Amino acid sequence: MGAEQRLSRLRTGLEALQRRRQRAEPAGQQAVHDSVAPQSDTEMYRSGIQRADAELEGQLAAIRAAADAGEITVRQAADKRIAAMEYHLTECRRLRERYVS
């Protein structure tokens, strides 16, 4: 798989994530979240978790797209999902240790 295909798949995953986010939040509320910098450790933690969740969703969308296109096997897709989720859990743990503990 070439770099251009990977980039295209990543864009597709990110676009799907943005559409999902727009449906979940009213337009004005999303703009407020994007323009206000987090101040407290709690806000930093929440912001970090939201970024980690968005990254995971993008990765999972890219994996689904590759599996649906027949570029990877079911087993490869499962292995990639496991790796993405393990990374996500590691990142969540790191954020918790840094901002909550």
Tell me the per-residue pLDDT of 9-64, one tens digit each, with 9 for 90 and over.
656 666 666 666 666 665 555 555 555 665 899 999 999 999 999 999 999 999 99
| Rounded Cα distance, 37 and 34, in Å | 8
Say how far apart CA 57 and CA 44 lie, in whole Å: 20
Q: Could you tell me if 40 and 83 are in contact, meaning their C-beta atoms sit under 8 angstroms apart?
A: no
- Where exactly are the structural domains of the chain? 3-99
Q: Is residue 1 pLDDT above 60, yes or no?
A: no
pLDDT band at 82 (very low <50, low <70, confident <90, very high): very high
Better-scored residue on pLDDT, 25 or 87: 87
d(CA 41, CA 98) in angstroms, rounded, equals: 9
Q: DSSP assignment, residue 38?
A: P
C-alpha 58/C-alpha 39 separation (Å) is 27
pLDDT at 83 over 90: yes
